[in-house]
Amino acid sequence: MTRLHELFQLGQSIWYDNISRDVLDSGEMQRLIDSGIVGVTSNPSIFKAAIAGSTHYDDAIRQLAAEGRDVDAIYETLALADIGRAADLFRPVYEATNGLDGYVSIEVDPFLAHDTTATLLEARRLFQTLNRPNIMIKVPATPAGIPAFEQLISEGINVNVTLMFSLTHYEAVAMAYIRGVEKLAQNGGDVSKIASVASFFVSRIDTAVDKALDAAGEIALQGQIAIANAKMAYGRFQDIFSSDLWQDFADQGAQVQRPLWASTSTKNPAYPDTLYVDELIGPYTVNTIPPKTVVAFLDHGTVSETLTEDTDIAEEQIAYLDDISVDLEAITQQLQDDGVRSFSDAFSDMKAAIAQKREALQAA
């Protein structure tokens, strides 16, 4: 039994924040499943690194180029093939956990983050094309993304809501999930078959807030606000999904929308490399972890329920930010805006790299 299995016994699922053809071809993904990984997340940055940063896709790109496929078609063919293979590998996990875990996430085009209708069309198409029950479509928690998410849930499409940084983001998403489940029930759908996670980003908050704390001369709080913020969100999760508003759907077998801790690699080398795993352990949660952090946690992570510890201190820390004129709400909104832009840039860079590879391979 590994530390990841021990976390699962505490009620936390560990997903792998990475996917590539190399990991699938080498058998590494199956070894990760055996070690306790129970799901996979992807994003444009991950696909950029996988496709543009390796030669593992070159044969497929050469073949697709010979067939006359354009860059968009090449990308989608490569990405959907990897996502589908991973979903098939994780299908036994999905079955064994009765649909709690075993999901593989793929993100809608980040350039659609501010277009509700286009997001809906793209999400439906991806879900139908992949045609597997353990697929999750990633939709951003933008003002345009949240209504799309609510509608997708009402249609029985699993959704991973991403790029959440604030309690405002979290509460809007949680309530949209409940409304979506309510509509699904009203339409005669089986609410026990729908699943969703709310991806709450962590380490990027410390990166941004630490700078503001340094400017305010409050370095003692550095490295603590991201965890405090996540604990506050977890408290809201507990309140919302233990309320009478949710209970009727729980009685029908509906799953809660679990918080998923994202961006959990340690950006500051002065902080422990398992900080955002060790301090965010609690039942009914997911933590999606990049490769280096998985290795570190398996080696020396601490398994103990920590999310419900020192919540009063976390609340005081968040409240104190107002006293020193650090606007957490503004910082977290800027982080979401930057996140959408970053994923869009990665998406563009990846397509540019595919175009260059296609031309080079055809010329060769």
| CB of 13 closer than 8 Å to CB of 286 | yes
Burial of 188 (0-12, 13-18, 19+ CB in 10 A): exposed
DSSP per-residue string spanning 165-178: -SHHHHHHHHHHHH
In order along its 364 residues, the chain shows pLDDT tens digits of 999 999 999 999 999 999 999 999 999 999 999 999 999 999 888 988 898 888 899 999 999 988 999 999 999 999 999 999 999 999 999 999 999 999 999 999 999 999 999 999 999 999 999 999 999 999 999 999 999 999 999 999 999 999 999 999 999 999 999 999 999 999 999 999 999 999 999 999 999 999 999 999 999 999 999 999 999 999 999 999 999 999 999 999 999 999 999 999 999 999 999 999 999 999 999 999 999 999 999 999 999 999 999 999 999 999 999 999 999 999 999 999 999 999 999 999 989 989 988 888 777 7
Which fold does the domain 3-204+245-307+340-363 belong to in CATH?
A: TIM Barrel (3.20.20)
Catalytic-labelled residue, pool 48, 138, 351, 357: 138
Active site residue 138: yes
Q: d(Cα 108, Cα 277) in Å, to the nearest integer?
A: 27
